[in-house]
Amino acid sequence: MLRFASIFLSVLIAFLPATSCSREFDPEPTGWEGSSWMARLDDGTPLSCVSIPGAHDAASASITSWSHWTRTQELDLEGLWDAGVRAFDLRLALVDGVLGGYHDKYSANITFQEALETLESALDRNPGEFAIVLVRHEQEADGNNPEWGKVISGQLVTHGQHLASWREGLTVGELRGKILVLSRKRYEGGPIGGFIDGWSHSAEMSAQQSASLTGPDGVRSGLWVQDCFNPDDAASKWDVVRRMLDATAGDEDAHPLVINHASGYLGLIPNYRKLAKEINPATAEYIRDSRACLGIIMMDFAGVDVSKGVKVSGGELVRAVVENNRGKNH
């Protein structure tokens, strides 16, 4: 009787309708491995159906000038990778002929070449993973240098074997071992990765859902971006983060790629820890209670729970985002 019931259940499951947001972890994971968690994702999972932890101003841990107000991370790129981060916000400026990482006008003491090489080395060690790099031209540091586009395009060409091209419907299997570079500024020659247009700092959902991504094929696809980085208070920041989480969860079989920023600061003088103390744990709690795929969650102090004596819960949030992918079938 039990054997008959088992066979019947198997047949029933086989005929259940499949949905567009299927993402399965290995059903018997061997434990937390921040350096290789993506290897357990199914190859056919669309990128838009993966919950991915990201680091805002990812290179800022190495800033030495005015570090209390300019550092949004405690871990360097390698440390962020090992913690489980797979989306890296890199702010790049061309100063004295060198394309490097900056936050505002302050140098992160790392070149773009070095950043890419760090991620490539991590991918060579963990070929089942992939990385997303979000690029912003940090014009505050180089006075909007007109050569920025030519230089970044030239450097990306030299890393071509490790780079992926954006297209709608891109899957985990197509991305393994690759870096997807999405630039918020267009440059000559078309995107090597993808171009983002319409990046929003608005609190209005209509503006946040109006961004777009364009790949080398010239086809434009939708993108949702919430990046309200200087809210009036923690409550208003949580409201915009939660609304985007709700929208993503409520439309998970149809939503495009989503980039939702838990990061930001309060006050005229940036205080990142004060906001992270409130937003990171609230976001982690929401994600732990959700069965939906929730997109890329950008955060400050990714991978660390305490920064300068403040409980910022960045390790907790990274783990919650990664574990959100476990054993889910949508």
Secondary structure (H, E, C), 131-186: EEEEEEECHHHHCCCCCHHHHHHHHHHHCHHHEECCCCCCEHHHHCCCEEEEECCC
Residue 226 contacts residue 216 (beta carbons within 8 Å) = no
Say if residue 76's pLDDT is above 50.
yes
Within 13 A of 83's CA, how many CA atoms are on the CB side?
Answer: 30
Residue 57 contacts residue 91 (beta carbons within 8 Å) = yes
Domains of the chain with CATH codes:
20-323 (3.20.20.190)
Residue 33 pLDDT = 73
What is the rounded distance in angstroms from the CA atom of residue 173 to the CA atom of residue 41?
Answer: 9
Overall size of the chain counted in residues: 330
Question: 221's torsion region: left (phi>0), alpha (psi -120 to 50) or beta?
Answer: beta
Q: Residue 129: what are its φ and ψ, rounded to 5°?
A: -100, 175
Question: Quick one: average pLDDT of 29-50?
Answer: 86
Which of 56-65, 66-75, 95-104 is predicted with the least confidence, judged by mean pLDDT? 66-75
Q: Cβ atoms within 10 A of the Cβ of 16, count?
A: 8
Task: Express each pLDDT in 180-215 by its tens digit.
Answer: 999 999 998 889 999 999 999 999 999 999 999 999
CA distances to 2, 101, 271, 301 from 105, in Å: 68, 10, 17, 20
Under DSSP, the state recorded for 243 is H
Residue 166 contacts residue 191 (beta carbons within 8 Å) = yes
Residue 32 pLDDT level (bands cut at 50, 70, 90): low
**Beta bridge mates, 260:** 226, 297
Question: 198's torsion region: left (phi>0), alpha (psi -120 to 50) or beta?
Answer: left
Question: Quick one: average pLDDT of 226-234?
Answer: 97
Task: Express each pLDDT in 115-144 by its tens digit.
Answer: 999 999 999 999 999 999 999 999 999 999
